[in-house]
Amino acid sequence: MSFLSITQHHLHGSYVDIIEELSTTLNFRPSYFRSPTPLWSDLIQSLADKDYDLSATNSAITIDRSKLVDFSVPISAVNYMYEI
């Protein structure tokens, strides 16, 4: 995950590391920003509309989302356990 250091105004974390490595390898300059809305559906639609080129997040891959955007192979898996 990525985090913003409030005191230093600097992003750090595994997703930032991945984007930095990709930018070096693929020769592009990343821009980081906070999404104006916290809804996953809005982020996916913005990617589908080509407002953004890529996103590095921990969102779930669903059938509906994969119809709109391409996903990479997940870099981690989270399993949830529910107790009833």
Closest CA to 62 of 71, 49, 50: 71
**What are the pLDDT digits (tens) for 50-84?**
998 888 887 888 999 999 999 988 877 766 666 66
Q: What is the extent of the structural domain holding 54?
A: 37-84
The pLDDT value recorded for residue 49 is 95
Could you give the CA distance from residue 3 to residue 51 in angstroms, rounded to a whole number?
Answer: 23
**What are the pLDDT digits (tens) for 28-47?**
998 877 777 778 888 899 89
Q: Based on the fold, state whether residues 59 and 83 are members of the same structural domain.
A: yes
Phi, psi of 80 (to 5 degrees): -110, 140
User: Identity (one letter) of the amino acid at 44?
Assistant: I
Closest CA to 13 of 2, 4, 5: 2
The pLDDT of 10-19, averaged and rounded, is 83
Q: Based on the fold, state whether residues 15 and 54 are members of the same structural domain.
A: no
Number of structural domains the chain divides into: 2
How many residues belong to the chain?
A: 84
Phi, psi of 17 (to 5 degrees): -60, -45
Q: Based on the fold, state whether residues 44 and 84 are members of the same structural domain.
A: yes
